[in-house]
Amino acid sequence: MSDSYDLVVIGAGSGGVRAARIASGHGARVAIVEEYRVGGTCVIRGCVPKKLFVYASRFRDLFEIAPSFGWTVDSRFDWPTLLANKDKEIERLERAYLSGLEGAKVEVIRDRATLTGPNAVRLEQAGRTLEARHILIATGGRPFVPDIPGRELGITSNEAFHLPTLPRSILIEGGGYVAVEFATIFNGLGVDTTLVYRGERVLRGFDEDLREGLEAGLQSRGIRIIYQTSIRALREVDDGVVASFSDGVDAPFGAVMFATGRVPNVKGLGLEAAGVALDEGGAIAVDAYSATNVPSIYAVGDVTNRAQLTPVAIREGHAFADTVFGNKPVAVDHSLIGTAVFAEPELASVGLNEADAATHGDVDVYIARFRPMQNTLSLSSERMLMKLITLKDGGKVLGVHVLGPGAAEIVQMATIPMAMGATKADFDRAMAMHPTAAEELVTFKAPTHRYRDCIRV
């Protein structure tokens, strides 16, 4: 067979796999090149293993309330068992991705790919060059690690999925969702956990009430949070690592993890050879159809840094394939993206936070704070928070924000009416389902601006 393709995709992650399968379905001859494992970040070392770890960590909260429901639990945790079962599930998913590609007649090539021109992809190990009518760059991102002395002593989320033993204590640097989720995971599994963040509160950009509630939830579970501080240096000691902080303090930890953001995977990709332009943040610059400045080359997913989320990469990959090979131009709408943080407590949001919504005109804010029913028999006083933000004029729903059990599942469904432009009256027309937490979203009566006014016990 010749080495000439209609499409060569670089990177078999969320965006690349979807694009390859859809393009092949449109009749294109497609090859996909992957240097590590098929499935990409989400499947191999992102969303999926993370959520499995989150499930593992949540048993601790459940064991705590179990006696109030009459259960006596003798609980012990075994890290190697979790690792082995997680690895088995990831291998199963990788095989499923691979057979999905093969079933779609996509040629899967295990190699590192670089661009050598607008229509040429070089396979580094095989030492041959593929000719491509179109090239899709879907190489994702990688963890950013600050350039400080001893940085090599820290781990990132990549290594956190493979630690041979659980450390006695861990210091996590960062304030984004990966930092917060891993703090929850380690804490739930019994590791003494400290979060250090240079900002003033975790989860910048999320609604302030959710941020405040999450912070309280993390602290009540024993996670130590140090704000407005960063790690200046790391040094190795017998039983771990000593971190030197920007405030002059030195402290020892069993392990240190950097969750300080992710950068687009563009290094050594040959973008210069092909003439592909980057934006000011170092991501590949694309238009609404994921086209780069080079007519034969497109890019989707984290490497374009539009929204670093799996469903977004998938949607962009699908839209690219429909546009270029399906004769159906599709521009992805990035204006309404729901997002969840699988911490403890969990939180999720779609639409505008209160501060941003207020810049769109006069708004009404509806807030309910209550103990989730699961906690009512126990001593747990943690409250759930449901928040709806609407335009005063006409009642259009601008934002839905939930903190507490099942937040992501609830908000996922709220994205549908939001995408349809629903109003408060539309939410009110929905019959409540009882007893649920989500019924609060369709039974709000009067707006409130201060949730302490509307605490329900």
Q: Name the residue type at position 234.
A: L
Tokens found for residue 140: 């994702």
Please indicate whether residue 318 is annotated as part of the active site: no
Tokens found for residue 286: 């694309």
Q: Is 290 left (phi over 0), alpha (psi -120 to 50) or beta?
A: left
CB of 45 to ligand FAD, least distance (A): 6
Tokens found for residue 52: 């499995």
Question: What is d(CA 143, CA 261) in angstroms, rounded to the nearest whole number?
Answer: 6
Q: Residue 362: which residues within 8 A CB-CB, separation 6 or more?
A: 391, 392, 393
Question: What is d(CA 321, CA 30) in angstroms, rounded to the nearest whole number?
Answer: 11
Nearest CB to ligand FAD, comparing residues 202 and 389: 202
Tokens found for residue 60: 């601790």
Q: Residue 98: which residues within 8 A CB-CB, separation 6 or more?
A: 38, 108
CB of 46 to ligand FAD, least distance (A): 3
| Interacting residue ranges for ligand FAD, rule: CB under 6 A | 10-16, 33-36, 40-42, 46-47, 50, 112-113, 138-140, 157, 178, 265, 269, 301-303, 308-311, 313
Nearest CB to ligand FAD, comparing residues 389 and 411: 411
Question: What is d(CA 294, CA 135) in angstroms, rounded to the nearest whole number?
Answer: 10
Nearest CB to ligand FAD, comparing residues 109 and 223: 109
Sheet hosting strand 363-370, strand order edge to edge: 339-341, 347-351, 397-403, 384-391, 363-370, 455-456
CB of 342 to ligand FAD, least distance (A): 6
E strand or H helix that includes residue 86: helix 79-103
Residue 152 Cα to chain centre, angstroms: 24
Q: Name the residue type at position 438.
A: A
CB of 66 to ligand FAD, least distance (A): 27
CB of 52 to ligand FAD, least distance (A): 11
CB of 40 to ligand FAD, least distance (A): 3
Question: What is d(CA 163, CA 216) in angstroms, rounded to the nearest whole number?
Answer: 28
Other Cβ atoms within 10 Å of 156 Cβ, number: 18
Choice among 26, 134, 162, 434 that is catalytic: 434
Nearest CB to ligand FAD, comparing residues 118 and 311: 311
Question: What is d(CA 143, CA 141) in angstroms, rounded to the nearest whole number?
Answer: 7
CB of 134 to ligand FAD, least distance (A): 17
Question: What is d(CA 35, CA 11) in angstroms, rounded to the nearest whole number?
Answer: 7
CB of 99 to ligand FAD, least distance (A): 17
Residue 179 exposure: Cα atoms within 13 Å on the Cβ side: 30
Nearest CB to ligand FAD, comparing residues 32 and 385: 32
Q: Check if the beta carbon of residue 223 is closer than 8 Å to that of residue 175.
A: no
Please list the active-site residues. Answer: 434
